[in-house]
Chain A
Amino acid sequence: MAKIQISKRVEANIPTTSTGDIAFLLLLFFMVSTVFVQERVFWVARDRFPYATENIERVSRNESATIYITQKEEILIDDFPRYVDDNSIIDAMQAKSREIPTLQVCFRTDRDTRYQAVRDVMMRLQDADTRNVVFEVQRKD
C-alpha cells in the first residue's frame, strides 16, 4: 500500500525583535541631528509680516541671519537689542559673514513699521558689505 505523505506546513514567521531597536535608533538620530532655533522669542509674529504674492523664495536657515524690527522700532539680532547709532549691527553682521560667506540677512519686520527704521538698518548692512537681504513675508491669499 502506498504511503501518503502529508506535507508539513511551515509556519511563516517574521522576526520583529529588532523593530524596537531600529525605531529607537531613528528616534535618537532625529533627536541628535535636529537643530533648534536659537532665538528664545519670535519678536515679530508671522502674521505681522508684510504680504507678498509673487516671488516668495525659501531661505536656508543655515545660511541666514535674522534681524527683527518691531513696530516700536526695536532692532534685535539673535535676541540681543542693537542700536543703529553704534557699530553693533555692522560688527555682528561682519562676524556672521566671516562665519557664513553666502550669508543672507532676513528682515523679520512688522509690516506697519516706519520705513526709516528699515532703511537705517539697510545702510548698516551696506557698510558691513552684507548686501544679500530677504524681506520675510506671508502669502496673500
Chain B
Amino acid sequence: MKVTRKRRRKAEIPTTSTGDIAFLLIVFFMSTTKFDVKEGVKVQLNKAVSQEQQQTTEIKLTEQEMTRIEITENGYLSINNQEPRPFTDADLDKLIKEKVEMREEINRKSSDPAVKKVKMLFLVKTNTEAKYNEMVRVVDHLVSYRDRAMISISTQI
C-alpha cells in the first residue's frame, strides 16, 4: 500500500505592502494636521507704578519728546490733545514717521550727548469704551518704529 505523506504548507504573511501602508498613514497625518501657530504683535507693558510713586516721579514731557495718541470711543485718534479725527493706516504711518524724524533731527542738531540718546515716546491712551481692534491697529503701526521710538500703552484710569 502506498502511503502518501502530507505536504506541510508553510504559513506566510505577505509583508511587502506594510511599508506602503505606514507611509500612507504618515502622509495622511502630515497633510491633515493643522498646527495652532501663535502669531501676534509683541509689546512690553510698563512696570506697575503705585499712586505714591506716580506722584513723585511725574515728569512733564514736551511734544518734542512725547506724542500722545488718544483713541476715542468711536475709533478716532486725537494727537497731542488735538480734535479727534479718523486716521487711515497711511495717515497713521505718515504721522509716526514725521514725529520720529522730528525727534531724530533735534538729536542730530544737539551737542548734548544725553539729548542725542532721547527717543520719541508714543503714549497710547485708549478710551475704555473703544474697541480692542483700534488699540491693536495703532500699536501695530508703532511697533514698526520700535528701534527708533519708545511705545507706552497706558493702563491708567
* B 122-151 to A, binary, CB cutoff 8 A, 1 in contact else 0: 000011111111111101110110100000
A135 touches B (CB below 8 Å):
yes
Which A residues between 107 and 141 are near B, CB-CB below 8 angstroms? 107, 109-119, 122-123, 125-127, 129, 131-137, 139
**Given A27-B25, A50-B137, A106-B38, does the pair A115, B126 have CB atoms closer than 8 Å?**
yes
Q: Which of B18, B22, B38, B40 has the most CB of A within 10 A?
A: B40
- Are the C-beta atoms of B132 and A20 separated by less than 8 Å? no
- Are the C-beta atoms of A114 and B41 separated by less than 8 Å? no
Interface range on chain B: under 10, 10 to 19, 20 to 34, or 35 or more?
35 or more
A11 touches B (CB below 8 Å):
no
- Are the C-beta atoms of B133 and A50 separated by less than 8 Å? yes
Q: Which of B38, B128, B130 has the most CB of A within 10 A?
A: B38
Chain A residue nearest in CB terms to B154: A119
> With A and B bound together, what is the CA distance between A37 and B38 in angstroms?
12
**Given A135-B40, A136-B39, does the pair A50, B132 have CB atoms closer than 8 Å?**
yes
Interface Cβ pair total, 8 Å cutoff: 156
Interface range on chain A: under 10, 10 to 19, 20 to 34, or 35 or more?
35 or more
Which B residues between 18 and 44 are near A, CB-CB below 8 angstroms? 18-19, 21-23, 25-26, 29, 36-44
Q: Beyond the given A26-B26, A118-B135, could you list 4 further A-B residue pairs with CB under 8 A, ordered by the A residue number? A: A26-B22, A111-B133, A129-B47, A129-B48
Please give the distance in Å from B94's CB to the nearest CB on chain A. Answer: 14
A55 touches B (CB below 8 Å):
yes
Residues of B at the A interface (CB closer than 8 Å) are 15-16, 18-19, 21-23, 25-26, 29, 36-48, 71, 89, 126-137, 139-141, 143-144, 146, 153, 155
Residues of A at the B interface (CB closer than 8 Å) are 16-17, 19-20, 22-24, 26-27, 30, 37, 50-61, 64, 66, 69, 104, 106-107, 109-119, 122-123, 125-127, 129, 131-137, 139
Top 5 A-B pairs, shortest CB-CB distance = A23-B22, A19-B19, A20-B18, A116-B128, A111-B133
Chain A residue nearest in CB terms to B21: A20
- Are the C-beta atoms of A133 and B44 separated by less than 8 Å? yes
> With A and B bound together, what is the CA distance between A36 and B55 in angstroms?
48
**Given A20-B19, A109-B132, A115-B126, does the pair A126, B40 have CB atoms closer than 8 Å?**
no
Chain A residue nearest in CB terms to B126: A115
**Given A16-B19, A54-B144, does the pair A112, B132 have CB atoms closer than 8 Å?**
yes
